[in-house]
A and B are shown apart, each in its own frame.
Chain A
Amino acid sequence: MRKNISLKIFAGLVFAFLLVPLFIIIVTSFGTNSTIQFPIQGFTLDWYSKVFNNESFMDSFLLSLQVAFIATLLALVIGVPAAYSLARHKVFGRNWIKSFFLSPTIVPGLVVGYSMYQFIVIKFQFPIIQGLLLGHFLICLPYIIRVVGSTIEQLDFSIEEVSWTLGCTKLQTFIKVVLPNITSGIFASFMLAFINSFNNIPVSQFLSGPGVSMLPTSLMNYIEYNYDPSVSALSVILMLGTIVLMFVIEKTLGLASIS
């Protein structure tokens, strides 16, 4: 019993450690003072309207959404077939290729960003938007290949063989049998890749150019010169977005299926 209580206290402290900073941010977003302060004086929703009226926030938010969405979609189109081949066929150097696809998650983000800057911006001089898409596509791909790959490996190969014997070509089998059974993996990898792309700072920082910036970048730029609660307000909005997303996942697939 005693052990139970101390465990509860310990768990409570961990939760507090995780949640109190978030709680403070939520509270500060309603303060009337022009700098971030806790506890707050007064109550206002002005900072929220300021966020929505801030053109740079809104533009970079939309851009971040678009880039994350398109880059993740592209990564799915390339990544799902790649994951399938790696899981099902005796590709030469399969383990090497798998590790290679994992590398962007191991190499420090700054290095990834810098090397992309070298190639995408300096060497090939991509237009900014295309460059951002390419960069984000590359950081999304590993998540897709790893998560979808492990889902495919868990799928009983004989259901594909049975589908061939029933008259399906390999392509028909992939569409009618494999895809419907890996949707949870695809959805999970999409979410992971999307959130990663949306939150990514180094790649966005290096690849953005004059007049084009992604949300994390413009948020950082803003904090550098203004320390007002609109940053808290924006953070609260992003948190709400994530909560809604998680709620949708929970309702459609169950959170357990993506963890």
Chain B
Amino acid sequence: MSYVELNDIRVSYDNKTDILKDLNLSIEKGELVSLLGPSGCGKTTTLRVIAGLIEPNDGEFLVDNQNLTKVPVHKREFGMVFQSYALFPHLTIKENVAFGLKLRKEKKNSIDKKVKDILEITGLEALSDRYPKQLSGGQRQRVALARALVIEPKLLLLDEPLSNLDAKLRLSMRIEIKRIQSQLGITSVFVTHDQEECFSISDKVAVMNKGVIEQFDTPEEIYKNPKTEFVARFIGFENFFDLTPTEDWKYKAVDGTVFLSNRDWEPGKQTGTIRPDDIEIAANTTQQTTNMVSGVIKVRTFLGKSYQYEVETSIGTLIANKADDVVYQVGDAVTLSIPAHKLIIV
């Protein structure tokens, strides 16, 4: 039994289309789990079900073996950080942070101490008497985080907390969030559509699409071994081609080229995929062996550290990146080799 359990959660607003379809998710204590997916995939809905802001039509939600499915949001004791920060405009930073503690009728000096500690951890002591509108985006974000953390929540929920910040700040804030989260050892759910952000911060990632979790794994696993075509596409695989599994644990492409893959051979899977960076490109050779296709360069794009080539081959158009040590021209005939250990079958 995991610390957090979502069992067969179904959410539908009109009872015709499901926003979430029998979603299952288990989170261990102290983990930071990300929900990653394009907009409309159901990641925010999942977070709001966890928070109690949406009641699921079916399924149950447990934390620490307690069934919280019907428990209203104000009794769940989870901290939540919103995309818009949602600071109370009429309260100072200190009062914003103390808001949750005052409701719990704690003693004044205990409140003061907790507020002081969390403001210290989040580096906000100097700003404690200011109002939210006097703060920058990054500072507001830290206040929102402090306010959610100070109540010592059983779960910390973060809804795209970095998406309103500029690129530089986003980078430092995500390091900050990770630091605070692991320092306090607090179980967290993080919603994002940014894969880099998500991989760098998470212990585990759930990639979501159309209301279902396509894959739930560590960031490394997802990056190296996507299980479905959707996941592969979402994390940067750009080449997809049809493959037919053959009896001898190999695959055959439409033009008859034989491919080998280091991944487990499964009869049902029939699409090969590889990242543009992993394709090796060389001048045309007549010698055709396994995992090699020839083609002609159609488009060349300069990417800075490398060139990107669109190569028309007998198994379809493939995209390959190559450093600028050898530069090919449009119209050149080349041979692409697709290493067996980089070829993913989905």
A residues engaging B (CB < 8 A)? Answer: 156, 158-159, 161-169, 172, 177, 180-181
Contacts and interface: CB of A to CB of B under 8 A. Distances in A.
Contact of A181 (B52, B74, B75, B89): B89
B45 interface: no
A173 B73 CA distance: 12
Contacts of A167: 74-75, 77, 100, 103-104, 151
Contact of B51 (A165, A168, A172, A177): A165
Contacts of B90: 180-181
Contact of B84 (A156, A163, A166, A177): A156
Given A166-B99, A166-B103, A156 B86 contact: yes
Interface in B95-119: 99-100, 103-104
Contacts of A158: 82-84, 86
Interface string B182-195: 00000000000000
B328 interface: no
A161 B103 contact: no
B199 interface: no
B73 A177 contact: no
A233 to B, nearest CB: 43
A164 B77 CA distance: 9
Interface string B167-181: 000000000000000
A177 B96 CA distance: 11
Interface of B: 51-53, 73-80, 82-84, 86-90, 99-100, 103-104, 144, 147-148, 151, 157
A107 B304 CA distance: 68
A161 B151 CA distance: 16
Given A165-B80, A167-B100, A167-B104, A159 B74 contact: no
A237 B90 CA distance: 37
B143 to A, nearest CB: 11
Interface-centre pick from A161, A167, A180 (highest chain B CB count, 10 A): A167
Contacts of A159: 86-89
8 contacts: A156-B86, A162-B86, A163-B88, A165-B51, A165-B73, A165-B78, A166-B99, A181-B90
B104 A161 contact: no
Contacts of A168: 74, 103
A78 to B, nearest CB: 24
A165 B79 contact: yes
A144 B172 CA distance: 46
A219 B52 CA distance: 60
Nearest to B83: A158
Given A158-B82, A161-B53, A161-B82, A166 B147 contact: yes
A132 B235 CA distance: 70
Interface-centre pick from A161, A166, A181 (highest chain B CB count, 10 A): A166
Contacts of B51: 161, 165
Contact of B88 (A161, A164, A177): A177
A161 B103 CA distance: 15
Contacts of A164: 52-53, 73-74
A96 to B, nearest CB: 22
Given A161-B82, A167-B75, A167-B100, 9 more contacts: A158-B82, A163-B88, A164-B52, A165-B74, A166-B99, A166-B147, A166-B151, A167-B103, A172-B103
A212 to B, nearest CB: 42
B80 A161 contact: yes
B99 to A, nearest CB: 6
Contacts of B80: 161-162, 165
A177 B84 CA distance: 16
A180 B157 CA distance: 26
Nearest to A173: B74
A161 B86 CA distance: 9
Contacts of B75: 167
A52 to B, nearest CB: 43
A114 B157 CA distance: 58
A158 B84 CA distance: 8
Contacts of B83: 158
B100 A166 contact: yes
Contacts of B147: 162, 166
Contacts of B76: 165
A162 to B, nearest CB: 4
A174 B89 CA distance: 14
Contacts of B78: 165
A187 to B, nearest CB: 14
A161 B148 CA distance: 12
Given A168-B74, A169-B74, A177-B88, A163 B53 contact: no
Contact of A163 (B52, B99, B104, B144): B99
A168 to B, nearest CB: 6
Contacts of A165: 51-52, 73-74, 76, 78-80, 148, 157
A180 B75 CA distance: 23
Nearest to B81: A162
A161 B84 CA distance: 12
A177 to B, nearest CB: 6
Contacts of A180: 90
Contacts of B52: 164-165
Contacts of A166: 74, 79, 99-100, 103, 147, 151
A58 to B, nearest CB: 41
A163 B96 CA distance: 10
A180 B88 CA distance: 10
Contacts of B148: 165
